[in-house]
Structure 1
Amino acid sequence: MSTPGVLEGIERDAYHVKLPKRSKFAMSGVLQPVDLNVGRSPARKRARYEDLNDSSESGRWSLNRSDSSIEDDNGVGRLDCDVEDVLTDDDTIFCKNEPSAIDVSCVSMTPNTRNQQLSLLESSLTKDSLDKLTLGEYDALLVKKPVIRPNSKINYFDLLSDEIILQILRCLPKWYLRDISVVCRRFNRLTKDESLWTRLDASNKHLYPGDLGQILSKQVIVLRLARSEITYPPIMSDCKAALHDFRSRLLYLDLSMASVSTDSLTALLSKCNRLKKLSLENVPVNDAVLIALSANKDIEVINFAMCAGIMEDGLKYLLANCRKLRELNIAWTNLNTSSIQYLCKNLPTTMDRLNFSGCRKLLSDKHVADLVTSCPRLRELDLSDCTTISGDSVRNITTLEDLNFLALSRCYLIPYKSLLYLKKIYSLAYLDIHGGYYDADEMKMVQEALGAKVQINKFKFSSVARPTVGLRKSSIWNMRVRD
């Protein structure tokens, strides 16, 4: 027979099942008449039965501490199961029809199979209780955590209009749109919407053959390709831009210091006829490029600074068709004498800012006289490093009544006394005469003659027609290139 006191302690610790507070099974004495099956009890609380041959007693239950296989138990804390009794996903029988639910059973009841669980339940409850307890009722007693299951059949993007999705896509970087376009047909259609490609910054990039054609096909309006490498051919036959009747919406294009061949540049400009502002700084050109550019009759700003290959024939096509030019930077382009003469006589009267610096020994006083006659509305003129002009050019410049900025740096043949005539220009606010060819006394006399309203040597570099000035790397001509 078993000792009641010992069994009661063992049964309370090892076989306590979590029941509702008002359950009729949580009554006193329900576990007392149970004949415990030793082989099915948890290993950590398993009592060893000792058969004492030399004792008058037939046997007794023992929790002998001297047995090395039994770990010490002080009766406090949670009793963890052995490794061999750990319940796995395949062993659990609780809510088999709901694999994602989380079932919690008694911490010490961790058998490996369904039969062990049911046997353990039978050994801890009376027959009357077992008859009343069905499997469904047993599952109802288990503690479960609610699990929210996402319904994968609902596509919430189908509930949104195209306008809302486009607004979301507009907040993403451009390089993400290519990955999004392969998600589904609807996303592929929306990522090609022209409203997403109004502005594009592809500077410092390597464009493979056909990439530029893909960009033009998206109808970009503001495009920055500064310091990019464009591989020939720029336009392939598999894009919309290759169509004969295609015309780009491109208005503002920055190709400053880009690595592009004249053939690629000609192919690009032949697709554009609406350009307003263009920068080709330090990019080689030829007559074919200028002829293709002349189709943009509304162009207002051109930056040719440090371009090589500008000849008189190309200039004739350009200036004959582009009569709305307001800003032109043609500095350090190694123009020959005939090209300089043609420019000075045929520049449009709409010219507002002109940079003609770097002509050195080729620009003469006669050319300056023709220039101010052709462009009487000039507000900014840069003739720096034109070493052959003299004081006569300064007298001709004084006829420009709207002149606000004048640069005559390193024009060594202009005496300081000739600069005193500039006081006739009431609108003059800035004068640059860098180069150190005037001493301090002469500079002082010029400043006194012009008055305090004229600031001398305020700027070191010209900003005429240049797309970016200073640290504004995310804009061209004060327009953003990044959304």
Structure 2
Amino acid sequence: MRQCDVGTARPRMKRRDRASRRCQRARPLQELPCISLQGSMWSQSRSIKRKSRGCLGESLATESTPTELIQQWSPRHKHQRVACKGKENEGGQFVLARRSRRKREAISGLSWDHLPDELLLRILFYLPLQDLLRMSLICKRWHRLVFDESLWHSVDLEGLTHTAPALEQLLAAGVRRLRCPRAFIEELQFAGPSPARVVQMDLSSCTISTSALESVMSRCTLLECLGLEGMQLSDHIVHSLAKNPNLVQLNLSGCSGFSADSIGEMLKSLSRIEQLNISWCDFSNDHVKEVVGNLHSSVTHLNLSGYRQNLTLEDVKVLVARCPNIETLDLSDSAMLMADSFPIIAQLKKLLHLSLSRCYQIHPAALADFSETFPALRLLDVFGLVHETHLRSLKKGVPRISINSRPFSTVARPTPAPCDRLVYNERAMWGARCRLRFKS
């Protein structure tokens, strides 16, 4: 070879070697070793014979590297969901669409937060007491709706152990009918001097201090029916009762702790009273005279039993003169009454029910003429006066009058005792049950 040819061939060989090295560096991805594969995979990739030339398609065709393992170690692709509903896919055209979050929430349904207060109150009206209290803990709005006065119209707390906190909340919520007899009521702490809206309330036989009862009664001015049977009262409580001019039924049976003057002043202000049960109280003769001397003519049902030596014939005369519209009169356990009181009592032309049980000064023979003496009378109770052997003949002599059919008085009692002619409901209060009732 000529010297010139040798000189020109060497640069050509150098250029060819540089091109070969560039081709090796530009090998396809499949020919490069994967850094994620370890061990035998790395050694295997080094021992494989590679071709330094050729296009990418030829390298893929002749490559012996396992592409399945590379795909296994590669990150997975996220697939978009295909919107199968909507106008985008009409006519067979395949379109990917993404629905906004606000639109999805609107289509999914209406939230409770979107309902008006009136509709929520209507729903809460059908819930029992325990569930209603649980829902008050959800949020501030639900707490406000739960204690709306429309839901707490009538509540029965009989069986509740500690009644003071519940009583405070109920009076603040505007309860109208409240029943909690035989309850234990601790000291009350009201938030403010706001008046109560309660209309009917039964606190009979409750264990409560006089000061706590004074704080309750001082807030009540709209009472129509009240039961305080068997409780310790005070003159302050009796004066608070006088501030309820709409009081129609009052049960103070077995109460004590108030003076004769206070009970007289109270009865003067209760001009609409119809049923009064003031039997078996800690009364003296002055108490009885204040009662019969201050009753209004609106009284139709009166229980004045239990005053053995304190109720006299003169008191009966005053009573009949002041209350001519009496329909039910209970003078049981009055040891001073005798048969000479019958013509006076007979002046009550509307009298339907008379109780003279254990009035031992009345001779049983004087009862034989009751049909003529009391033409309107339908019920007569003479327990302890007539022996069983003479009771049958007495019933035959006065067939128009039912004798000894009412062993318990029902005058002004919120839940009267069961009898043959009355439908008895142990949880009723003045003929109706409370909607919200505590279940122990």
What TM-score, normalized by structure 1, do the two folds share? 0.65
Q: What residue in structure 2 maps to residue 383 of structure 1?
A: 331
SS at match of 1:357: coil
**Are 1:476 and 2:429 matched, yes or no?**
yes
Which has the bigger relative contact order, CA under 8 A and spacing at least 6?
2
Q: What residue in structure 1 maps to residue 204 of structure 2?
A: 256
Q: 1:363: how far off? A: 1.2
Preserved contact between residue 310 and residue 335 of structure 1 (Cα < 8 Å): no
Q: 1:46-125 counterparts in 2 under 5 A?
A: none
1:429 to 346, 367, 378: 378
Q: 1:16-31 counterparts in 2 under 5 A?
A: none
2:141 to 161, 178, 186: 186
- Quick one: structure 1 residues 427 and 120, their matched pair in 2 at CA, closer, same or farther if it must change by over 3 Å? farther
Q: 1:431: how far off? A: 0.7
Preserved contact between residue 349 and residue 376 of structure 1 (Cα < 8 Å): yes
Q: Distance in 1 between matches of 2:175 and 2:67?
A: 70
Q: 1:136: how far off? A: 8.4
1:394 to 342, 347, 356: 342
**Are 1:403 and 2:357 matched, yes or no?**
no
Preserved contact between residue 353 and residue 464 of structure 1 (Cα < 8 Å): yes
Q: Distance in 1 between matches of 2:252 and 2:67?
A: 88
SS at match of 2:384: coil
Amino acid at match of 2:155: L
Amino acid at match of 2:384: G
Q: What residue in structure 2 maps to residue 40 of structure 1?
A: none
**Are 1:235 and 2:184 matched, yes or no?**
no
Q: What residue in structure 2 maps to residue 165 of structure 1?
A: 120
Amino acid at match of 1:163: E
**Are 1:345 and 2:293 matched, yes or no?**
yes
The RMSD of aligned alpha carbons is 2.9
Q: What residue in structure 1 maps to residue 414 of structure 2?
A: 467
Larger radius of gyration: 2
1:453 to 397, 400, 404: 400
2:233 to 257, 277, 285: 285
Q: 1:355-374 counterparts in 2 under 5 A?
A: 355-374=303-322
Q: 1:119-268 counterparts in 2 under 5 A?
A: 156-207=111-162, 210-232=165-187, 234-236=188-190, 239=191, 242-243=192-193, 246-268=194-216
- Quick one: structure 1 residues 338 and 135, their matched pair in 2 at CA, closer, same or farther if it must change by over 3 Å? closer
- Show CA shifts across 1:259-301 (max 9, x none): 1111111111111101000000111111111001110011010
Q: Distance in 2 between matches of 1:305 and 1:117?
A: 99
- Show CA shifts across 1:184-224 (max 9, x none): 22212211211111011112323465543221110000001
Total equivalences in the alignment: 339
Q: Distance in 1 between matches of 2:186 and 2:214?
A: 13
Amino acid at match of 1:462: S
Amino acid at match of 1:281: E
**Structure 1, gaps ≥5 residues long:** 1-115, 123-133, 141-149
Q: 1:418: how far off? A: 2.4
SS at match of 1:230: coil
By percentage of residues, which structure has more helix?
2
Q: Distance in 1 between matches of 2:307 and 2:274?
A: 21
**Structure 2, gaps ≥5 residues long:** 1-65, 83-103, 419-423
- Quick one: structure 1 residues 201 and 118, their matched pair in 2 at CA, closer, same or farther if it must change by over 3 Å? farther
- Quick one: structure 1 residues 446 and 473, their matched pair in 2 at CA, closer, same or farther if it must change by over 3 Å? closer
Amino acid at match of 1:279: G
Q: Distance in 2 between matches of 1:206 and 1:222?
A: 20
Q: 1:356: how far off? A: 1.0
Q: What residue in structure 1 maps to residue 24 of structure 2?
A: none
SS at match of 2:175: coil
Q: Distance in 1 between matches of 2:145 and 2:203?
A: 29
